[in-house]
Amino acid sequence: MTAGAPGPAPGPAPGTGPGRGAGRGLPLVIAPVRGEKRTLRAIDDYRAAFRPSDRAPEQDRRPYVVVSVSAAAGATAAEAEALHAPEAWATVVSRTWASSRRWSRRAKCWSGR
């Protein structure tokens, strides 16, 4: 890829497996949410299954992996943790609040309230 040039568009939706996009010559964007070993295995599987697209420019005909992580930097560890706290809470709320509200409504319906 040329320095400063945007990379190719990311591949299929999460959960569809790295091989699906690899077979189409698409890049892989992955987050290590299921552990380092599973992430590394998924990257290895992607690289093994990668088949370059005939439509891709020459510089984009190699496997391309982006590992996405949540990180914060501060002058001290405490400052970095303080900067990261709102992001961490937003993640927790986005993954639990809506779900718990849905279950709460269902529970009221089931209990006759």
Residue 11 lies in a domain: no
Same domain, 60 and 99: no
Domain count within the chain: 2
Does pTM top 0.95 for this prediction? no
- Domain with 99 in it: 76-113
DSSP state of 9: P
Residue 82 lies in a domain: yes
Same domain, 28 and 51: yes
User: d(Cα 109, Cα 95) in Å, to the nearest integer?
Assistant: 23
Same domain, 60 and 82: no
| pLDDT, tens only, 33-70 | 888 999 999 999 999 999 998 888 888 899 999 998 88
Same domain, 80 and 63: no
Rg (CA), the chain: 20
Residue 10 lies in a domain: no
